[in-house]
A and B are shown apart, each in its own frame.
Chain A
C-alpha cells in the first residue's frame, strides 16, 4: 500500500444468490483526491459502496483503509456502525436518508453522537450538567454552525429537515456526514435530481471538503459532473472494472464509450482497431 492511498479494494466479489453483482473488482482511492466510481445502471456501483460502508458483507475480497495516524483497518471485518466510528468513513445515500422529524441543527448534532457520548461520560456525567460536557456541547454547536454555513443552510437551521427542498436536503446529508469528522466521505449520486445551479453549489461544496484534506469517493451517473470535479475515475460495468485513470483518460477509453453508448462487443473491437490504426497514421 503506497503512502498516499487511503482506500484499497482488492478482489472484491459480491454474490446475491446466483447473481454475481461484483466480480473480482479492485481499485485504489488516493488521499486528498476525489475518486469517482461510474458506470451504467445496474453496474454494481451502489453494491461496492455498501460493501465499503459495511451495509453488505462482501462474499470475497479485502477492503483496506489507511487512517491518517498510520493504522490500517480491514473494513469488511468491522461491524456496520464501527466503519464510521472506528474507520472514519462517512456516507450519504442515493435516496436521501435524513432524520426528517428532527430539525436541521439536530440532524448535525446526532452526527456528533460518539464525540458527545464520550464527553457526557456516557450520559451519566452529562445528566449532572458538568462544565466539561457543556463545553463539548458548545463545541458541537460550533461545528454544526460551521457546516451549516458551508452547506448554505444557516437560515433553515431550526426547520425540520423534511421541510427542506430537495437540493438543500442533499447538502444537509453531506454536512451531516461531515459532522462525524470522517477521513473518507462516500457519496452515492450526490448530484441526482439537482438543477444546474444546485449542481454548481454542490461542486463548490465538494471542492471545499476536499481542500480540508478529506478524501471523497463518489458514485455518479452524470458524466459532466464527474469530469468536472473528480481527480480519478474508475469505471464499472456488469460488476467488473473496465477502466481506471484520470478523467481525460477515461473519457477517451473506447471501452467506456462503448459501455455508455451501448455498442456490441465486436463493435468495441472495431473501435479499438480503428483507434490503433488512427494512431499508426
Chain B
C-alpha cells in the first residue's frame, strides 16, 4: 500500500519535472531551432519556422527528464543502497586487469589501428577511418597535450594557443615552398620557431595573471591570425598557401604520384592514397608519443615540479628562490613548441594552409579538451580528444537522423551543441575532468594518486 502511494508520488514528480523540462527546452530552442534564417533567390535574408524540429527537441527533453526521474534515478539509488548494505566500499583501490594495463592496450591498438581498418573496411573505406578519425584525433591529442603543459601543469590560462599552431603551419608552408626544405628538416625548425614566438609573446604577457593573462593571450592569438590575413605579400592572405609538398619517407621514398622514387611504385602496390595516410598516421602517432614522453620526463625534472608548484602557489615559489618569470616562459615555450610541431604536420597533411584554420574556436576546442580530460592528465586528455573530435566526426556519419529530423537536417551543424552537452555532463559528474587525480612525481614508499580536490587550477 505504502509502496504504491510512493510510486504514485514518484510518477507525479517525474511528470511534473518532465513537463518543466519540456517548457524550458521550448523556451531555449525557440529561437535557434524553431526559427531558421536563410538566403532566398534574391540574396535577401529571410526566415522560416521549423515547428516540427522544435517539437522533437522539446519532446526529447521532456521524455528524457521523465525517464531519468521516474526510472533511472530510483534504479541507481537502489543499486547504491544494495552496495552499502553489502558493506562494499564505493571506492576501491583494486583496479581490474583491463584498467591496470589500459595504456598498453591503447598503445597496441593504436599501432595496429590502420591495418585493422584495412582488414575490416578495405582500402577505400580506410581512408575515412585513418584520416578523418585517426589522424584528426591524434592532431588534437598532440595539441591538447602541448597546451596541457601551459594550462594543466603551469596553470597559465592561454586562450591563444592556436597562434603557435599557425606559426608552425606557416613556417612549414613558407619555408618548404620558397626554399624547398624537406619535411624532416622543417618539422624541428617549425617547433623552434613556434617556441621562439612563445618566448617573444611570453615576455610582455606573462607579467599579467589570471583573467588578464587569458584576455591578452586571446588577443595575441587573433593578432597572429590578422597578420596572416593582411600580410598578403608573404602569406597570400585569405587565399592561403597551396601546393605544400608532402612529407617523404625520410627522403628515401616520395608520396608524390609523379616522382621516380614513388613509394607505391617502389613496392609494386596498386595506386591508392591510403599508404600516404597510413604513413602520416604513424608520424603523428610518433609525434604524440614524443610529446607524452617529454611531458612525463619533464614532470619529474626540477623544471616540471616548478611548473606544478607555480600552479599551486606562485608566492610560495618566489619565497623558495624559484625565478617565476623564466619558469613560466619555459612552460610557454615548451607548449608552443609542440603546437609548432603539430602545425607543421597539419600543413604537410593538408597541403594547404589558410588563416581560416586558426580561428579562436580552435583554441577554445583545444582548451575544452584539456579541461574535460582533467588538467594535467595525459590519459584523460587523450580520451577527451577522442570523444570530442571523434564525436564530431561521428555526427557526420549520422545520416540516419535525417529520417527522424527531415532531409534538411545536417548533424555536423550541431557539433557545438554536442560540445556544450559533453561539457555539462562532465562538469556535473566529474568536475575535475575524466581523470581528476594527479600522479606524484616522486615517492618514498608508495606512489599514491593525489585527489583532485587538493590540486589547484592556478591563477596565471
User: Which residues from B are CB-within-8-Å of A117?
Assistant: 302-303
Known: A145-B444, A158-B444, A176-B320. A120 touches B305 (CB 8 A): no
User: Which residues from B are CB-within-8-Å of A53?
Assistant: 319
Task: Across the A-B interface, give the 7 residue pairs with the lowest CB-CB distance, nearest first.
Answer: A101-B455, A84-B321, A85-B321, A99-B312, A116-B302, A162-B454, A97-B316
User: Which residues from A are CB-within-8-Å of B50?
Assistant: none
Quick check: B442 and A180 within 8 Å, CB to CB? no
Give the segment of A33-41, A57-65, A102-110, A195-203 that binds chain B.
A102-110
Select A103's contact among B306, B315, B440, B456, beta carbons within 8 Å: B440
Tell me which residues from 252 to 295 in chain B have a Cβ below 8 Å from any Cβ of chain A.
294
Tell me how far the C-beta of A212 lies from the nearest C-beta in chain B, rounded to whole angstroms. 19
Quick check: B316 and A93 within 8 Å, CB to CB? yes
Tell me which residues from 94 to 129 in chain A have a Cβ below 8 Å from any Cβ of chain B.
97-103, 105-106, 109-114, 116-117, 120, 123, 126-127
Docked pose: A126 CA to B456 CA in angstroms: 27
Tell me which residues from 407 to 459 in chain B have a Cβ below 8 Å from any Cβ of chain A.
438, 440-448, 450-451, 454-456
Q: B residues engaging A (CB < 8 A)?
A: 294, 297-298, 301-303, 305-306, 308-309, 311-313, 315-324, 330, 438, 440-448, 450-451, 454-456
User: Which residues from A are CB-within-8-Å of B320?
Assistant: 84, 90, 110-111, 113, 176-177, 180
Quick check: A102 and B312 within 8 Å, CB to CB? yes
Quick check: B308 and A101 within 8 Å, CB to CB? yes
Docked pose: A98 CA to B438 CA in angstroms: 17
Quick check: A98 and B316 within 8 Å, CB to CB? yes
Given contacts A101-B438, A113-B320, 14 further A-B contacts (CB under 8 A): A84-B321, A90-B320, A99-B309, A100-B456, A103-B440, A109-B302, A110-B320, A113-B322, A120-B301, A120-B303, A154-B444, A158-B443, A158-B448, A160-B451
Q: Does A159 contact B (CB under 8 A)?
A: yes
Select B440's contact among A54, A82, A93, A158, beta carbons within 8 Å: A158
Known: A90-B319, A100-B454, A114-B322. A105 touches B312 (CB 8 A): no
Q: Does A91 contact B (CB under 8 A)?
A: yes
User: Which residues from A are CB-within-8-Å of B319?
Assistant: 53, 55, 80, 84, 90-91, 93, 97, 177
Greatest chain B CB density within 10 A among A99, A100, A163 is at: A99
User: Which residues from B are CB-within-8-Å of A110?
Assistant: 302, 305-306, 309, 317, 320, 322
Q: Does A192 contact B (CB under 8 A)?
A: no
Known: A80-B318, A84-B321. A123 touches B306 (CB 8 A): no
Q: Does A81 contact B (CB under 8 A)?
A: yes
Q: Does A227 contact B (CB under 8 A)?
A: no
User: What is the chain B residue whose CB lies nearest that of A123?
Assistant: B303
Docked pose: A99 CA to B324 CA in angstroms: 15
Quick check: B305 and A105 within 8 Å, CB to CB? no
Quick check: B442 and A105 within 8 Å, CB to CB? yes
Quick check: B323 and A81 within 8 Å, CB to CB? yes
Docked pose: A101 CA to B306 CA in angstroms: 13
Q: Does A73 contact B (CB under 8 A)?
A: no
Select B454's contact among A158, A163, A180, beta carbons within 8 Å: A163
Docked pose: A81 CA to B314 CA in angstroms: 11
Known: A100-B312, A141-B442. A106 touches B305 (CB 8 A): yes
Tell me how far the C-beta of B454 lies from the nearest C-beta in chain A, rounded to whole angstroms. 4
Greatest chain B CB density within 10 A among A102, A127, A180 is at: A102
User: Which residues from A are CB-within-8-Å of B318?
Assistant: 54-55, 80-81, 84
